[in-house]
Amino acid sequence: MTDLASQVETNRFVGSEFLLWLWFESEVLETNLRPTDGPPCAIWIETQITLNTDSDEARIKSAMPAATPEAKQALRQGKLPKQARLRAVIEEHEFSWVLKADALAVGSLKIPTELKAKDEPYEALYERMMITEKLEAVLEGLFTDFARMRLSAAWDGIFVPLFMRWARGTPIDEAAYSAEKAKVLRAAKKR
Amino acid sequence: MGALRGSLTFSRFFIVGDLPDDLPGFGLKRIRANVCQELNPDEDALEKHGWASVLDPFDTELDHEKVFFNEYAVLSMRVDRWVVPGPLLKAHLREAEEKLLERKGLEKIGKKAKADLKIMVVRKLRKQLVPVTRTVDLVWNIPTGVVLFFSHAKKSHELVQALFEKTFKLQLLLESPGTAVHRRGLTPSEELLFANLEPTILADPGELS
């Protein structure tokens, strides 16, 4: 495999961890996420989430699937989210899409548009791309913060124990979490 | 659904390599050289693929206005394939075999003759059919080097990567958690750390499913 091809295949599980972190943040921060680079947004999981291990899978469908006891139980069984339908509000735009964790791929994305392809195809395409790029910019910003946290010593030392307590229903101190996160992001930015 | 209407399903790719100075001029020439060619029933090729207009998959007369607008280049990868329905092929093959046996006064057809007969029947049937066409849209934001390709299928990814490289002499790198991490720039110690990451597990040892 070439270096680039191996980059594509290396550590695909990190995509599941990103989705797990989004879920955790969404719950603990009451959906209000603030990527370091990018505008603030509201993000939450809706209607479906699939969690798996190499040998087992749990598909949960409900209005708020991540809030069900089954979802947290799956985490406690060692499963990680494989894909989920997410909803986001970014500035005045609302988005709904399925995030496939192992490829960070977007599926079934619904975006608010005004122009119709049959009337003004290129203008409609331009509008669709402009709006889609707003979502991509937010996801990029969120992934950057996540990657900085994931590659810090605090991931295993501080954040994973927090995730474990959260998966067991223990209330998480939002301020303490945000302070630890800010410390990690500040240190990463200095490098 | 593609780039133009409906919900959006796409994979992201990133350009690897330096853009040519005159991308619209150079690019258009290369795109025209790699448009989708019609399948010919008399040729062996089962499938052909190449570029077409994003507005009309059967429009391969591509000009600047159809491909470049603002900061984007938009194209469709068209894939044409002969699909001869199995039962139809079987019925026509049986008929051809019976005719051959009768004409030659034989009781059985050899393996080689059977294979030749199948090729003939397939070619004859192709003349009565039209190829199955599918298209996948591609939108390239030229300044950012991000390409949205409207399919998650691995086979389509491989096809478009090869076609894109052949056309523009640029590689497309598929987005994945690994490439997303590397794109952010890693220090040597982070590189090593990333290479040795173990998956996060939130289960206690006794709880593992």
Is-contact B81 B46, C-beta < 8 A? yes
DSSP B75-131: EEEEEEE----HHHHHHHHHHHHHHHHHHHT-S---HHHHHHHHHHHHHHHHHHS--
Percent of chain A past pLDDT 70, that is, above it, reads 99
Two tokens at B48? 């052909």
Which chain A positions have a beta carbon within 8 Å of B152's beta carbon?
100, 103, 105, 107
3-state DSSP helix/strand/coil % of chain B, to nearest 5: 40, 20, 35
pLDDT tens digits, one per residue of B97-139: 888 888 888 888 888 888 889 989 999 999 999 999 999 999 9
Rounded to the nearest angstrom, the minimum Cα separation between B6 and chain A is: 8
User: Buried b / exposed e across B61-97, counting CB within 10 Å, b at 16+?
Assistant: ebeeebbbeeebbbbbbbbbebebeeeeeeebbeebb
Query: Confidence class of residue A65 from pLDDT cuts 50, 70 and 90?
Result: very high
- The amino acid at A122: Y
Q: What is the pLDDT of residues B32-79, one digit of tens each?
A: 999 999 999 988 899 999 999 999 999 999 999 999 999 999 999 999
Residue A53: pLDDT over 60: yes
The DSSP secondary-structure symbol of B6 reads S
Q: Is B9 in Cβ contact with A77 (below 8 Å)?
A: no
Q: What are phi and psi of B80, to 5 degrees?
A: -105, 140
- DSSP code for A152: S
State percent of chain A over pLDDT 90: 84
Which B residues, 39 through 58, put their C-beta within 8 Å of a C-beta on chain A?
54-55
Residue B1 binned pLDDT confidence (cut-offs 50, 70, 90): low
Q: Give the residues across from A87 on adjacent strands.
A: A44, A96
Computed over its alpha carbons, how large is the radius of gyration of chain A? 17
- Spatial neighbors of B201 by CB under 8 A, at least 6 apart, are A78, A80, B208
How far apart CA A13 and CA A79 sit, in angstroms, is 11
List the domain range (segments joined by +) for residue A164: 3-190
Q: Is the pLDDT of residue B148 over 60?
A: yes
Taking the C-alpha atoms of residue B87 and residue A38, their distance in angstroms, rounded to an integer, is 57
- Residue A24 confidence (pLDDT): 97
- Tell which B residues from 79 to 138 touch A, by Cβ distance under 8 Å: none
Residue pair B15/B143 in contact (Cβ under 8 Å)? The answer is no
Print burial letters for A123-162: b (CB count within 10 Å at least 16), e (below 16): ebbbbbbebbebbbbbbbbbbbbbbbbbbbebbeebbeeb
Closest approach of A75 to chain B, Cα-based (Å)? 6
For A89-123, the pLDDT digits (tens) are 999 999 999 999 999 999 999 998 888 777 788 99
Q: Is the ipTM of this complex over 0.90?
A: yes
Mean pLDDT of chain B: 92
Structural domain spans, chain B: 11-83+129-195, 86-128
d(Cα B154, Cα B67) in Å, to the nearest integer?
A: 25
pLDDT at B205 over 80: no
Cβ-Cβ contacts under 8 Å between A and B: the total is 150
Q: Measured in Å, how far apart are chain B's first and last C-alpha atoms?
A: 37
A131 contacts: CB under 8 Å, gap ≥ 6 = A93, A111, A112, A113
**CB burial string A41-66: b at 16+ within 10 A, e below:** bebbbebebbbbbeeeebebeeeebb
How many domains is chain A built from? 1
- Closest by alpha carbon to A78, among B198, B203, B206, B205? B203
Interface residue of B5, B8, B173 to substitute, partner A, most A CBs within 10 Å? B8
Q: Would you call A11 and B173 a contact, using CB atoms and an 8 Å cutoff?
A: no
> What pLDDT score was predicted for residue B207?
62
What residues contact A97, with CB distance under 8 A and at least 6 apart?
A85, A86, A106, A107, A108, A109, A110, A135, B8
**What 8-state DSSP symbol labels residue B153?**
-
CA separation, residue A173 to residues A165, A185, B11 (Å): 11, 18, 36
pTM: 0.91
> What is the structure's pLDDT at A2?
59
Over residues B188-200, the pLDDT tens digits come to: 888 889 999 999 9
